[in-house]
């Protein structure tokens, strides 16, 4: 059970990292350990399925660089491997005059990030793209697309097996022990040794990091995003993707309408504190995980700062009428009865001790472990670019 590199986590980031390693150094022995009995069971398998273009991110940030580079790598990958995707474009809609300066900022940011053919839209022009939308102004982003990230991950997994990587499912990593020359990864069933470990454990990335890092300054705070689905007979209300102008103080994009690559139209996700890291239902509670969140000094600062937004999100989570009202800002015709309950996803959002919700991707290097400690949206879009970065760091260490 000796490997060169062990990747913890069979989500899209871990799989893309392993694939990049095996592509550039096929002779290395690589193992992926995933605690579930399938790949991409968590964030990757429960997201909005949007191929983000790079519109939102601070120019020069890891998110901006990786999103744009990752976008092109992903689109090429899907073409080469026959994974269905569609570059259908999206609109971002300002629903009242106060949002116009924020919309203008987004337009400038998109241009700074190199997006071409962005188009500013008047009230009337919005209807050319989405006839049922009402807004005062908008932007059309032609590059944005849709894909099923579970299918993308499964294809990464298939290629890894073809390249002789090992993937072990149902293997939960419970400890990592390092010595000067190697590292031992212990699961409930076995021990595996390697020269290097890459931690891509998503919602548990901080827990896995703490196995070797003493004073980790971040904790993962789980934010559930709940979706409604449009009834089949109402799907005509949405042609492609319709987004609001996001609140710049909040790391999430606001509830939007998404035509899904696997079919159907979803509305959401909201962002409510999850009482369990993998808590997909409102009733899911894990007392020790909840206590850890509530006692983290950084979370207390976030709660003090954003309590109003947080309560608003909670209220919309429990009241379908309130959720519908938020959607009616974009499409006034939508009625509560047009919406049926959809699924949910839980976002892994790193929060530092000082109360900052870490905005950018975060990679921490130790002598024998590389920890991907914050890989929120658009990490699915960016997976191959993040994988490339992490693979370069890993190979520098062991070759
Ligand atoms: C609601 C929602 C909507 C989103 N929408 C988009 C979008 O439209 N576009 C986009 O680009 N991004 C989107 N994202 C973000 C994107 O889904 C994530 O950034 C991405 O999936 C992160 O991938 P990951 O591999 O890091 O995490 P995950 O997919 O969560 O994978 C981590 C894996 O590690 C495993 N694991 C954890 N602990 C252990 C352990 N101890 N031992 C072994 N295995 C372990 C887990 O079981 C899991 O399979 C969205 C996310 C959410 C939640």
Q: What pLDDT digit, counting tens, does each position of 25-34 carry? A: 999 999 999 9
CB 133 within 8 A of CB 331: yes
- The span from the CA of 285 to the CA of 289, in Å, is 8
- The span from the CA of 327 to the CA of 38, in Å, is 34
Atom of ligand 1 nearest to the CA of 172: 42
Q: How far is the CA of 102 from the centre of ligand 1 (A)?
A: 29
- The span from the CA of 77 to the CA of 200, in Å, is 21
Q: Where are the alpha helices (DSSP H) in the chain?
A: 12-24, 62-80, 100-112, 123-129, 149-162, 205-210, 287-295, 297-318, 320-328, 383-398
Nearest alpha carbon to residue 175 among 6, 295, 311: 6
CA neighbours closer than 13 Å in the CB half-sphere of residue 72: 7
Q: What pLDDT digit, counting tens, does each position of 224-280 carry? A: 999 999 999 999 999 999 999 998 877 888 899 999 999 999 999 999 999 999 999
Q: Coil, helix or strand for 12?
A: helix
Q: What pLDDT digit, counting tens, does each position of 339-351 carry? A: 999 999 999 999 9
Q: What band does 355 get if pLDDT is binned at 50, 70 and 90?
A: very high
Q: What pLDDT digit, counting tens, does each position of 119-157 carry? A: 999 999 999 999 999 999 999 999 999 999 999 999 999
Q: What pLDDT digit, counting tens, does each position of 154-192 carry? A: 999 999 999 999 999 999 999 999 998 899 999 999 999
Ligand 1 binding pocket (C-beta < 6 A) is: 8-14, 33-36, 40-44, 46-50, 52, 172-173, 200-204, 208, 225, 269, 345-347, 375-381
CB 93 within 8 A of CB 135: yes
H or E stretch at 177: strand 173-178
Please report the pLDDT score of residue 181 as a whole number: 86
Residue bearing the CA closest to ligand 1, atom 31: 11
Q: Is the dihedral of CA 120, 125, 129, 132 positive or negative?
A: positive
* DSSP state, residue 357: B
Mean pLDDT of 74-93: 98
Residue 306 pLDDT exceeds 90: no
Q: How far is the CA of 42 from the centre of ligand 1 (A)?
A: 5
* DSSP state, residue 96: S
Among 202, 203, 227, say which to mutate for ligand 1: greatest number of ligand atoms within 8 Å of CB: 202
């Amino acid at each position: 059970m000796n490997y060169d590199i062990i990747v913890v986590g069979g989500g899209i980031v871990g799989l893309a990292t392993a694939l990049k390693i095996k592509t550039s150094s096929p002779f290395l022995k690589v193992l992926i350990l995933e605690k579930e009995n399938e790949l991409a069971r968590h964030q990757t398998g429960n997201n909005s399925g949007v191929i983000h273009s790079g519109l939102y991110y601070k120019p020069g940030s890891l998110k901006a660089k990786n999103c744009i580079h990752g976008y092109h790598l992903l689109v090429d990958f899907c073409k080469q491997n026959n994974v269905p995707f569609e570059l259908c474009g999206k609109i971002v809609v300002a629903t009242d005059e106060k949002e116009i300066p924020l919309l203008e900022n987004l337009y400038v940011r998109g241009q700074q990030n190199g997006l071409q053919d962005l188009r500013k839209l008047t009230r009337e022009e919005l209807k050319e793209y989405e006839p049922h939308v009402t807004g005062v102004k908008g932007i059309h982003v032609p590059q944005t697309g849709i894909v099923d990230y579970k299918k993308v991950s499964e294809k990464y997994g298939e290629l890894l097996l073809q390249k002789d990587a090992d993937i072990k499912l149902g293997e939960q990593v419970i400890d990592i022990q390092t010595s000067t020359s190697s590292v031992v990864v212990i699961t409930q069933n076995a021990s595996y040794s390697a020269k290097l470990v890459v931690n891509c454990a998503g919602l548990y990335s901080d827990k896995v990091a703490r196995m070797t890092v003493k004073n980790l300054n971040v904790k993962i705070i789980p934010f559930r995003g709940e979706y409604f689905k449009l009834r089949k007979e109402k799907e005509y209300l949405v042609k492609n993707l319709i987004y609001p102008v996001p609140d710049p103080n909040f790391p999430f994009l606001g509830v939007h309408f998404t035509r899904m690559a696997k079919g159907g139209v979803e509305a959401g996700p909201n962002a409510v504190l999850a009482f369990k890291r993998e808590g997909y239902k409102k009733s899911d509670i894990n007392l020790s995980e909840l206590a850890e969140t509530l006692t983290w000094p950084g979370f207390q600062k976030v709660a003090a700062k954003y309590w109003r937004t947080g309560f608003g999100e909670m209220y919309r989570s429990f009241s379908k009428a309130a959720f519908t009202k938020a959607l009616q800002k974009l499409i006034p015709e939508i009625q509560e009865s047009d919406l049926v309950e959809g699924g949910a996803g839980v976002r892994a959002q790193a929060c530092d001790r000082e109360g900052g919700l870490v905005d950018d991707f975060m990679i921490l290097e130790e002598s024998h472990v590389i920890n991907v400690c914050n890989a929120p949206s658009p990490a699915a879009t960016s997976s191959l670019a993040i994988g490339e970065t992490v693979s370069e760091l890993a190979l520098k260490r062991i070759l």
